[in-house]
Amino acid sequence: MKLSTLLAKFTLPFLGLICASAVSAQMTINGAGATFPYPIYSKWFDEYAKVDPSVRFNYQSIGSGGGQKQILAQTVDFGASDGPMSDDNLAKAPGKLLHIPTVAGADVVAYNLPGNPVLKLDPDAIAGVFLGQIKKWNDPKIAALNPGIKLPDQDIVVVHRSDGSGTTYIWTDYLSKISSEWKQKVGTNTSVNWPTGLGGKGNEGVAGQIKQTPGALGYVELIYAVQNKMPYADMKNASGEFMKASLESITAAMATAQIPDDFRFSMTNAPGKDAYPIAGATWLLVYEQQKDPMKGKKLVEFLKWAMKDGEKMARDLQYAPLPEKVQERVLKRVDEIKY
């Protein structure tokens, strides 16, 4: 037998063994949940693959309701939600679940009108539209806020989420604070019985519905309005100022938040003249006691990287990073995860 043939006979299987072992060495950490932070999480997972090539993140952007359900059922290694879990849901967990806040963002009121005017809206107008009481674009309550803009005599087509959603949690949390009627009739949750409107799946689905429906109005996370080049309204805040959603106005809202030890907090309708009123944080949901030691170790390493290095990438995608003092508190919480 020729030497080259002999070498090939032994070398090829050996190389195959090396490749197989390299593939098996790469660990996949599975997560599911919120669409609100999907753009920043995608960026983090891509960047982290360069930091630690031995781990890959598989994240399903299915809505916060789905993320909460899957982490409770332990079918994923972490969940993601823009609404903190309720006491009732936490009680169903087979172990202690930690809320790890990551970034903050904004729900904006996006719409589809000829000429893409920049509108001003206030709590009364928004509550009226979503309660189904304000039906036309030229309604006196909207017209009074927008002198000089010719509003059409056209039906408002309300678009909301059809899936369990943290974006909806932030939205309904806001509406419950500014409208006693909304609080009583509908309330705050990731999924509610809507008085009016069409449903869209995910922030992507709502943005798509608004873009293709003349006269539509709905709520999406800020980055989805920016990426889809949709106009969105300046909102009247708790201090009576009209604010555009921006990094600065989201950061101003977060600065007023009272953040308890368990990190479950709300920052909608925040006081302060510079605060955007429909802003909220988003959380990763992680078990304090990890079942798989290797996955637990890798997840903790990623969470520490996210707090230290990932936060620096937030601004480019229109998310507000956590204040430094909050980052320090979160890092201490991450240190409590056992694996």
Taken in order of first residue, the domains within the chain and their CATH numbers are 11-105+280-334 (3.40.190.10), 106-246 (3.40.190.10)
Partner residues linked to 178 by β-bridges: none
Give 200-269 as a DSSP string. ESHHHHHHHHHHHSTTEEEEEEHHHHHHTT--B-EEE-TTS-EE---HHHHHHHHHT----TT-----TT
pLDDT at 303: 98
Top pLDDT among 294 and 9 is at: 294
Report pLDDT digits (tens) over 99-135.
Answer: 999 999 999 999 999 999 999 999 999 999 999 999 9
pLDDT for 227 equals 93
User: Does pTM top 0.85 for this prediction?
Assistant: yes
Q: Assign 21 a pLDDT band (cuts: 50, 70, 90).
A: very low
Predicted confidence band at 1 (pLDDT cuts at 50, 70, 90)?
A: low
C-alpha to C-alpha distance for 39 and 28, rounded to whole angstroms? 20
Q: How confident is the model at residue 13 (pLDDT cuts 50, 70, 90)?
A: very low
Task: Please give the share of the chain, as a percent, with pLDDT higher than 70.
Answer: 93
Residue 22 has pLDDT above 50, yes or no: no
Q: What is the per-residue pLDDT across 252-297, written as a single tens digit (0 to 9) for each?
A: 999 999 999 999 999 999 999 999 999 999 999 999 999 999 999 9
Q: Does position 317 have pLDDT exceeding 70, yes or no?
A: yes
Average pLDDT over residues 89-99: 97
Q: What single letter denotes the amino acid at residue 189?
A: N
List Cα–Cα distances, 84 to 67, 144, 183, 211, 310, in angstroms: 11, 36, 18, 30, 21
Task: Determine the residue type at 312.
Answer: K
Residue 16 has pLDDT above 80, yes or no: no
The beta-strand segments (E) located in the chain are: 27-33, 55-61, 78-81, 97-111, 120-121, 157-161, 198-200, 216-221, 234-236, 242-243, 279-287, 320-321
50: number of CA atoms within 13 Å, CB side?
A: 6
Q: Say yes or no to pLDDT of 332 above 90.
A: yes
Confidence label for 25 from pLDDT (cuts 50, 70 and 90): low
Residue tagged 């609080």 (tokens): 183
Torsion sign over Cα 43, 319, 64, 235 = negative
The torsion defined by the Cα of 96, 165, 189 and 108, in degrees rounded to 10, comes to 130
Confidence of residue 8 (pLDDT cuts 50, 70, 90): very low
Model pLDDT for residues 154-171, shown as the tens digit of each residue: 999 999 999 999 999 999
| Contact assessment for residue 112 and residue 333, using Cβ atoms and an 8 Å cutoff | no
Q: Which comes out higher in pLDDT, residue 328 or 16?
A: 328
Three-class SS of residue 56? strand
